[in-house]
Amino acid sequence: MKKKVLFIIPPERFNEEELIKPKNILVNKGIDVVISSTVTGEITGDYEGTVISSAIFSNLNPSDFDIISVIGGSGTIDYLWENPSLINYLKEAYNKNIIISGICAGAVAIAETNLLTNRTATCYPIDIMINKLIKHNVNYLEKNVVVHSDIVTSNGPDGAEDFGLALLNLYL
């Protein structure tokens, strides 16, 4: 494995906990994490925290990563849900045996690829997100993290640490 993870965040209003907690868990174990978006530069989160997007995700080769993760936040709903570029990118990565993951609203973005059809997943426990999973024939499970060998989903800030640990465990 390359020991490299790609986190995809919206161009504004990502959830800081959902990004920082898993990122720190991975980086502290020597795994390289790249933060990307639909834009490059400084991005402000839901709670005014900032990070730097070093690349536009669609310009990156998915094969350069072991895991690709879509991070939630209110901006994920506005910019990454129903985003054809993201849907195609995630499908391409999955077809290259890259592990796909999503937390909170990011789990819904995974469901939109139809890669979770007839499988179990979790997301933030509100109707708009649960109904999106159900619309894509995903079995919703109220749990911090749902792990398959090829796809990982998490419920949001409450599960952010468990999400990071689940991603790390894929390397062990």
Nearest 5 degrees, angle CA 70-CA 75-CA 77?
75
CATH 3.40.50.880 fits 4-169, yes or no: yes
Q: Order of strands across the sheet with 99-103?
A: 55-56, 32-37, 4-8, 67-70, 99-103, 151-154, 145-147
pLDDT tens-digit series, residues 105-122: 999 999 999 999 999 999
What per-residue confidence (pLDDT) applies to 172? 76
Question: What are the extents of the domains in the chain?
Answer: 4-169
H/E element holding 133?
helix 127-135
- Measured CA to CA, the distance from residue 21 to residue 118 in angstroms comes to 29
pLDDT tens-digit series, residues 71-104: 999 999 999 999 999 999 999 999 999 999 999 9
What per-residue confidence (pLDDT) applies to 2? 81
What per-residue confidence (pLDDT) applies to 1? 66
pLDDT tens-digit series, residues 124-162: 999 999 999 999 999 999 999 999 999 999 999 999 999
Average the pLDDT over 20-33 and give the result: 97
Write out the E strands in 85-148. Answer: 99-103, 120-121, 139-140, 145-147
Average the pLDDT over 40-63 and give the result: 98
The C-alpha torsion from 92 through 167 and 36 to 38, rounded to 10°, is: 50
What per-residue confidence (pLDDT) applies to 112? 98
